[in-house]
Chains A and B, each alone.
Chain A
Amino acid sequence: MKYVIIVKPKKTILDPQGKAIKKVAERYLQNKIKNIRVGKYFEVEIDKRNDELIDKLAKNVLSNEVIEDFEVLKE
């Protein structure tokens, strides 16, 4: 069973990485971009489906709830 977990900076958090990329991208494309935010992508494989385990992993290891939100997707 394969899970995909996406971790994103919370909306209220300033994302300086995203800002820097946006600036460069706008220059390269010569086009305005409204916003870029940078997150993390994880692929986790386990033998049997276990949503609870994956949720625990995403909440306590892969993300920091003070600054990040996470989303679990099943493939």
Chain B
Amino acid sequence: MKVGIVRFLGTNCDYDCKYACDALGIESEFLWHERRDIDSFDVIILPGGFSYGDYLRAGSLAKFSPIMESVKDFAKKGGRVIGICNGFQILIESGLLKGALLKNKNLRFIHKEIYLRVEKSRCLFTKNLDDRILKLPIAHADGNYFCDDDYLKYLQDNEMIVLRYSDNGGNVEDKCNPNGSLYNIAGICNEYGNVFGLMPHPERSVGDLGKDGELIFSNFLRASDV
């Protein structure tokens, strides 16, 4: 079991992800964005940060890094890929997940702890967590998920919505929506459940920092389910 943590120019949550892997005894290694051979890894993390300074659109320039071609092949073969925050933006820009992440509705960088309800979905990273309420930090300026009505229905019909902003009782309401995301969406997965993108930071809720992020990271170890 080995996790690859990708580093783009401007990634800044790489050590947070390494900290989370270390805390759970998961072997991990940093992967420079020019690297192409990633087949020996079981899970690839695209961490948060400001790749390429968020120039043009958040995540839009990182998608042209050499490693992203390999990540696409890796995902196509069923490899598990998780994109956190800027990593989610990169997955969206690369087409591995669909939709768009717009500027937060209030135009501010939001940094706080929020509650999320885990939806019943096909996501491999949230197995056995249906209906759980998680408390995780968010820290982003462009996390306002958007897609058209047809695609929202597609996400719903195919159980691809993974996390929604809620209150601490799991009620999904407008007032719990920090950034204006459509349908309070905080995380989605692809049709096979092996590619997962989310705005909250599970790696900052592991070990001494919290427990809820561990629930997602410990699912990395369930290789037998894939």
- Chain A residues engaging chain B, CB cutoff 8 angstroms: 13-14, 16-17, 20, 61-62, 64, 66-67
Contact = CB atoms under 8 A, between A and B. Distances in A.
A13 B99 CA distance: 12
Q: When A and B form their complex, which 10 residue pairs have the shortest distance between CB atoms, in order from nearest?
A: A66-B100, A67-B100, A16-B107, A16-B105, A20-B107, A16-B103, A64-B57, A64-B100, A66-B99, A17-B103
Given A66-B99, A66-B100, A67-B146, A61 B60 contact: yes
A59 B169 CA distance: 43
A64 B60 contact: yes
A66 B57 contact: no
Given A64-B57, A66-B146, A67-B146, A17 B107 contact: yes
Given A13-B146, A16-B107, A67 B102 contact: yes
Interface of B: 56-57, 60, 64, 93, 98-100, 102-107, 146-147, 180
> Which of B98, B102, B106 has its CB near the most chain A CB atoms (within 10 A)?
B102
> Which of B98, B100, B104, B107 has its CB near the most chain A CB atoms (within 10 A)?
B100
A60 to B, nearest CB: 10
